[in-house]
Chains A and B, each alone.
Chain A
Amino acid sequence: MGSSAKTAAGPATGRKKISGAAKGYLILFLLVFAAWAVFKIITPHNFGSPANLLSYFQSGLLAATGAIGFYFVMVMGMFDFSIGANIVLSAIVGCVFANRFGMGYAGLIVGALVTGTIVGFCNGFFYTKLRIPSMIVTTGLALIYESLANYVAGGNEQTLPSNMRWFGSMAGSIVLAAIAFVVAYVLLKYTKLGTYTYAIGSNEYVAKNMGINCDKYKLIAFMVSGAFFGAEAVLSISYGSSMVAVTGMSSMSRNFVPTMGCFFGLAFKKYGIPLQAIIIGEFFVNIIFYGFIALGAPTAIQDVITGLALLVIITLTTKARKGEIVK
């Protein structure tokens, strides 16, 4: 094949792919190390001990659990503004099932996961049926989910009894996050859903011509995402012990961290480690958060620095090809 054989980038060999993943891990670990080192130097006494790091990691797992599900939605080119509302509603329903209905852990997990899945189904259903951008659909629905959560909670803060907070501490949170990770990994790597997720994200028109029912798989992606946010809800209420059914779009503040983790996944997709990147990325985000707390920086400054960090990291990791149009 003469000239065609001399591929500009050169076809990736098995060896190159391993080094691609290794490169991805290396970048991620360097980011983590750099963030840790900066804060450790500035505030050595109240930041960054091994015990602290474990605590940051645990905190990062909460958002990572939701983000790995959200990855399916984002790869397909859609978005979700109802993440926070989903977490609040799922956590409150789970808590009500566990506490008020006396169903214990089963109620907590089933209640939150099923609620999350139903929320995902609603997002996907209205998005595919109304044919309006996912951002708008999910923003509108977020208001409804918030109100629903408020109604279910009866306007009161829902507190999870102390004997039902196993998922809030180390062993429990790791177990649930690990299960979520394995499920997402299998779905992405070893099922048609994974292949179709990338196919739809790459070119929906071609995917349709290949007989893929794109609307069906988008709906499934939203449901998967919703279920994972349900799992995040379990971790969140277990970790924080209670949940307030906020209204007026206040739940949106919960959107940021999982979305940021998801950006890490998208950025490191090219290294073949998207889900791993989400987990390490969330750890990195938490190091920065806790670093600022250790510094005693005002919230406004924290937000400014975190926002800038997001832009810098995504710019560095998703360097567009020259001439590529970015929208």
Chain B
Amino acid sequence: MSNEVRLEVQDVSKTFGITKAVQHVSEKFYKGEIHALIGENGSGKSTLTNMLTGIYTKDSGKFILDGVEVNAKNQVDANNHGIAIIVQELGTLDGLTVADNIFLGHEDLFVKHGIKNTGAMNRKANELLKQYGFDRIKAADYVDDYNFEDRKLVEIVKSTYFKPKVLVVDETTTALSQEGREELYKVMNQVRDYGGTVIFISHDLPEVLEKSDRITILRDGVYIGCVKSSDVTENDLKRLMVGREVTGDYYRADYGEPVSKEVTLSVKNVTVPGKIMDVSFDLHKGEILGFGGLSESGMHEVGKAIFGASFDRTGTVTLADGTQINDIPTAIRHSVAYTSKDRDNESVVMNQSIGDNIVLPSLDDLGIGPLKIQSDKKLKAFAEKYAKELSVKMVDTNQFVSELSGGNKQKVVLARWVGKDSDIVVLDSPTRGIDIKVKQDIYQLMNEMRKSGKSIIMISEELMELIGMCDRIIIMKDGKISGELERSRDLSENDLIASMV
């Protein structure tokens, strides 16, 4: 890391309606450093970098890059100033080729007299892909032909081929498998090595400590401080993020508690073509059963299969009373709940209120009379009760879910199923992209549910939370069960990894 300032953030602020997303934040970023930006959900990290990269406009303050003020109008304008971003969601566009995606907004490099030289563009893109070691991705192919992971690699090329002075990596690693992460780390190191600056946003604190040189902490849109990674521990970071000591239990503290013999759900020989094969297991009353594995191992499909949401499923999913779960309405009627990994698209209804989202599966229970007439008062009281129970940070239950941070959206999803009083809860990646404080809340809620006799299936790519929370962990590999581990103090991540790869 050099002592020369690459980027200076001066007194930058941004508000969304009544929310003060970023308040008078100032910080210096040096040449040749990986500078992490951490904070709870809604702390303003992404808002700050989105203003830098032209996705949002700032209300006040300045971004000074190499001594010159920049006001990027959009991402391409930011690129032209030497600033690039890799976003958390998918940043490539269907219907375009790999090369079109890499050079989107920069086509003029290949346009002469209004005609685009597609051949030259493809050649250049193939050259770049080869340089990055991604030469199995072909420039002329439609990007739709590649999976999420490969499309992220295309995005990495798109964001860095022009050697940006500042590269923002916004919560990208959680979406990637370990191999994908390694590729991204390699690129981040390259940017640092040629004197660029990487602004690295991540909720994974061990990753932040390992990969970054310095760490800036934001809380509720306010700058808290900047520390050297080598001077702090994970607990120091948690304290700085939350604003107090993270006290009480984080994961479950109990070990050796016997699990009930009573089977609440029995899965026999379940196969979903191309996804999972011959999966069988029993879930017991009051048990937290974990599913771990690589992202493509099939574990996410297990959750869908149990909930009756898979297509062409064979095999049986049977409840204690003999009911077979073959479709979603049957699952919900028989007290089975499911939260998807893809929270925004498959769990919450973004353009509805918090209240509407919470009452959604309980409308039949709340309806009056045979026609199930709905009472506004009753619905409101129900939504408020469970939103409060889950401590959803909100103005009121009329607030739209789209205005909430990721962690609070997840709380709304959980409030929905707690309100429904489901006995079997399938949670797919319940803490994905969620900060430490909300994570702790979710873990404690799961523990409470377990104690009250609810059965939980927890599917997660975070091995530590599986080890910390589950009575039993099933490991999936290539669509099949490849191992099973019992809860133990001695269980380590390596024990799980051994069955995963």
Contact = CB atoms under 8 A, between A and B. Distances in A.
B96 interface: yes
A186 B118 CA distance: 11
Contact of B142 (A12, A190, A207, A212): A12
Given A3-B177, A210-B104, A211-B76, A195 B116 contact: yes
A4 B147 contact: yes
Interface stretch (A150-158, A197-205, A304-312): A197-205
Given A3-B294, A4-B147, A210-B75, A14 B94 contact: no
B141 interface: yes
B238 interface: no
Nearest to A6: B296
B93 interface: yes
B74 A201 contact: no
Contact of B116 (A4, A6, A192, A210): A192
B180 A1 contact: yes
Contact of A195 (B104, B114, B137, B142): B104
A201 B95 contact: yes
Q: How large is the interface on B (under 10, 10 to 19, 20 to 34, 35 or more residues)?
A: 35 or more
Interface in A1-60: 1-14, 17
A209 interface: yes
B180 A211 contact: no
Given A7-B147, A195-B96, A211 B73 contact: yes
Contacts of A4: 147, 149-150, 153, 177, 179-180
B268 to A, nearest CB: 23
A19 to B, nearest CB: 13
A2 B297 CA distance: 13
Interface string B90-124: 01011110001000110110010011101000000
Given A1-B153, A14-B138, A7 B73 contact: no
B327 interface: no
B95 A269 contact: yes
B111 A192 contact: yes
B311 A322 contact: yes
A14 B140 contact: yes
Contact of A198 (B73, B95, B140, B150): B95
A323 interface: yes
A190 B108 CA distance: 12
Nearest to B134: A1
Interface string A183-224: 000100111101100110111001111111000000000000
Nearest to B75: A209
A3 B296 contact: yes
A212 B77 CA distance: 11
Given A1-B153, A4-B147, A12-B145, A199 B138 contact: no
Contacts of A323: 311
Contacts of B180: 1, 4
B146 interface: yes
Nearest to B137: A11
A1 B154 CA distance: 13
Interface centre among B55, B75, B142 (most CB of A within 10 A): B142
A203 B144 CA distance: 13
Contacts of A186: 115
B127 interface: no
B244 interface: no
Contacts of A199: 93, 95-96, 100, 104
Contacts, number: 116
Interface in A247-280: 269-270, 272
A5 B294 contact: no
Contacts of A14: 138, 140
Contacts of A6: 296
Contacts of A8: 147, 274
B42 interface: no
B261 interface: no
Q: Point out which of A9, A195, A198, A207 has the most chain B C-beta atoms below 10 A from its C-beta.
A: A195
A14 B122 CA distance: 12
A182 B180 CA distance: 42
A194 B114 CA distance: 12
B74 A208 contact: yes
B96 A7 contact: no
B438 to A, nearest CB: 26
Contacts of B105: 210-212
Contacts of A209: 54-55, 74-75
B27 interface: no
B136 interface: yes
A190 B153 contact: no
A206 B142 contact: no
B11 interface: no
Contact of B93 (A189, A198, A272): A198
Nearest to B95: A198
A319 to B, nearest CB: 13
B96 A202 contact: yes
Contact of A3 (B137, B179, B274): B179
Contacts of A322: 311-312
B183 interface: yes
Nearest to A5: B136
Contact of B146 (A3, A11, A189, A201): A11
Contacts of B94: 202-203
A260 B55 CA distance: 38
A279 B142 CA distance: 23
Contacts of B177: 2-4
Among A4, A9, A11, A186, chain B packs the most CB atoms within 10 A around the CB of: A4
9 contacts: A1-B183, A3-B294, A5-B150, A10-B145, A11-B136, A11-B141, A202-B96, A210-B74, A270-B144
Interface of A: 1-14, 17, 75, 186, 189-192, 194-195, 198-199, 201-203, 206-212, 269-270, 272, 322-323
Given A1-B136, A8-B274, A202-B95, 15 more contacts: A4-B177, A5-B136, A11-B141, A11-B146, A12-B141, A12-B142, A12-B145, A186-B115, A191-B115, A194-B116, A202-B93, A203-B94, A210-B76, A211-B74, A322-B311
